[in-house]
Amino acid sequence: MVAGLAAYLLWGLFPLYFPLLEPAGGLEIVAHRIVWSLLFVGLLLTVVRAWPQVRAAVADRRTLLVLSVAALLIVVNWLVFVYAVNAGHVVESSLGYFINPLVSVLLGVVAFRERLRRLQWVAVGLAVVAVVVLTVDYGHPPWIALALAGSFGFYGLMKKLVRVEAAPGLFLETALVFVPALVVIVVLESRGSAAFAHEGSGNALLLAFSGVATAVPLLLFAASARRVPLSTVGLLQYVNPLIQLALGVFVFGEPMPPARLAGFAIVWLALGVFTADSLRQARSTRRAAARAVPAAA
């Protein structure tokens, strides 16, 4: 529980971290995030002697293909998120992670032909209404929120298609996009527009530390997900967007007009319906399992 809460707290506080990397742009930040994540996770794999898992994943062509798609999706997610934070759209980015669970549910229907319960359909319908309300408020669809929810939802789908532990999976994902990231850094350096090593040692250290900041929450989440009930993980995931929303409104001073607040309220209602149904289903499953044990004995 502590590991899961720590992971979502760290993810929620990311909007405070990325502005510290300025004047580095979003592309440079993501490139350094990839490079330093690869080095940090590689060191971690050496310490825990987990390289056989990496070799096994590389030897499986299907696993490598799925992780390649996952790598592209997570890079898109990082680029959009860094842009959102540095461009003053933290509130909209929080919306993306609020609706992400509902996007994941819809992907389950499409990819795995899962059947939604009645209340789950109600939650999805409310989320659609919320997007319409927010589209009217913004004057355009909330593209940042939809891009974050869609990219992370499809990323989660890719991760479900393969059985690779968090650290080996992250190493391979960053390794697959390492060369493009390195090219970006070299090009920015050659143009004289790079911040790394040109804006003081503090900026360089913060850019390098982005690799640790990327890997640690993911590893904490993986440790938690294997040990606590899925329903608990489902509740913990709302910590991240709640913190981001609070930061956007109270720290960065982003506006929250009545129409936008109404859209968020409908999203929260949808999540309340979704969470209540999930908890009810989890209790029902546990009771059924408890009744089955004496019968089997």
The secondary structure of 218-287, three-state, reads: HHHHHHHHCCCCHHHHHHHCCHHHHHHHHHHHHHCCCCCCHHHHHHHHHHHHHHHHHHHHHHHHHHHHHH
- Distance from C-alpha of 238 to C-alpha of 53, rounded to nearest angstrom: 31
Q: According to the model, what pLDDT value does residue 95 have?
A: 93
Per-residue pLDDT in tens (0 to 9) along the chain, 297 residues: 888 899 999 999 999 999 999 999 999 999 999 999 999 999 999 998 999 999 999 999 999 999 999 999 999 999 999 999 999 999 999 999 999 888 888 888 888 787 888 888 998 899 999 999 999 898 999 999 999 999 998 998 888 888 888 889 889 999 999 999 999 999 999 999 999 989 999 999 999 999 999 989 988 887 776 677 655 666 788 899 999 999 999 999 999 999 999 999 999 999 899 888 888 887 887 777 777 656 555
Q: According to the model, what pLDDT value does residue 202 have?
A: 94
Residue type for position 151: S
Q: Are 152 and 275 in contact (CB under 8 A)?
A: no
Q: Where are the domains of the chain?
A: 2-285
Q: According to the model, what pLDDT value does residue 230 have?
A: 59
- Distance from C-alpha of 243 to C-alpha of 96, rounded to nearest angstrom: 13
Structure tokens, 84: 């959102």
**CA 94 to each of CA 44, 56, 109, 252: distance values in angstroms, whole numbers, following the listed order:** 30, 36, 24, 13
- Distance from C-alpha of 224 to C-alpha of 222, rounded to nearest angstrom: 5
Structure tokens, 288: 């059924």
User: From the CB of residue 141, how many other CB atoms can be counted at a distance below 10 Å?
Assistant: 12
Burial class from Cβ neighbours inside 10 Å (0-12, 13-18, 19+) for residue 151 reads buried
Q: According to the model, what pLDDT value does residue 231 have?
A: 59
**How would you label 255-283 residue by residue, b for 16+ Cβ within 10 Å and e otherwise?**
eeeeebeebbebbebbbebbbebbeeeee
Q: Are 100 and 142 in contact (CB under 8 A)?
A: no
- DSSP 3-state assignment of 142? coil
Q: According to the model, what pLDDT value does residue 295 have?
A: 56
**CA 195 to each of CA 127, 206, 207: distance values in angstroms, whole numbers, following the listed order:** 40, 11, 9
Q: According to the model, what pLDDT value does residue 111 have?
A: 82
What DSSP designation does 31 have? Answer: H
Q: According to the model, what pLDDT value does residue 122 have?
A: 92
Q: Are 158 and 70 in contact (CB under 8 A)?
A: yes
Q: Are 169 and 158 in contact (CB under 8 A)?
A: no
